[in-house]
Amino acid sequence: MDNKEQAFTQLVRKHKSTIYSVCYMFSKDTDEIDDLFQEILIRLWKGYDSFRAESDVRTWIYRVSLNCCLNADKKKRRLTGNRVPLSVDIDPFEDTDDRALQTKRLYARINQLGLVDRAIILLWLEGLSYEEIGSIMGITVKNVSFQLHRIKEELKKSNL
């Protein structure tokens, strides 16, 4: 393995959880998550030489991951339309405590948001700063603030 491959492998190991967290934003199916993860790795590898370190590497990884997942989600929606999935996802070991139920309700509401809104709120929930979110999403910090306020208000109004 040459130096470039070693450096890339270390980068992936260090930021694997970041990539997976983005994949989990867009799917709950493990096979689809693995496919998204692999596609993201391919895109990161292809862009590795052209990454100029003008932004933090974590920001670059988030941006590539989000763009890849957004594109895959759009493609999936175009191909499947409004089909109903054949499988039913039932968890027999479902959490029943209050905090777990609140978290599930929150994520159910988040999943009803549009793709961009979902990405913004989930990046915020991941603990990224407004500057990082803006850099990843390609919007200003002021716009991040505005969008987050609007999204939070929308989440408060949604019924689940």
The mean pLDDT value for 80-102 works out to: 57
**Range of weakest confidence among 3-12, 126-135, 151-160:** 151-160
The residue that leads in pLDDT, 56 or 92, is 56
CA gap 133, 35 in Å, rounded: 25
> Would you say residue 65 lies in a domain?
yes
Give the Cβ contact number of residue 132 at 10 Å.
21
90 assigned to some structural domain: no
Higher pLDDT, 84 or 17: 17
What pLDDT, in 10s, does the model give residues 107-150?
788 888 888 898 899 889 888 899 999 988 989 999 999 999 99
- Residue 87 within any structural domain of the chain: no
Last residue of one domain, picked from the residues 82, 109, 137: 82
**What is the C-alpha to C-alpha distance for residues 148 and 132, in angstroms, rounded to an integer?**
14
Question: Is pTM beyond 0.75 here?
Answer: no
Question: Could you tell me if residue 54 is inside a domain?
Answer: yes
Q: What is the distance of C-alpha 141 from the center of its chain? A: 19
Instruction: Residue 44: give the domain boundaries.
Output: 1-82
- Are 76 and 102 within one domain? no
Q: How far apart are CA 40 and CA 79, in angstroms?
A: 20
> Same structural domain for residues 67 and 104?
no
Same domain, 52 and 118: no
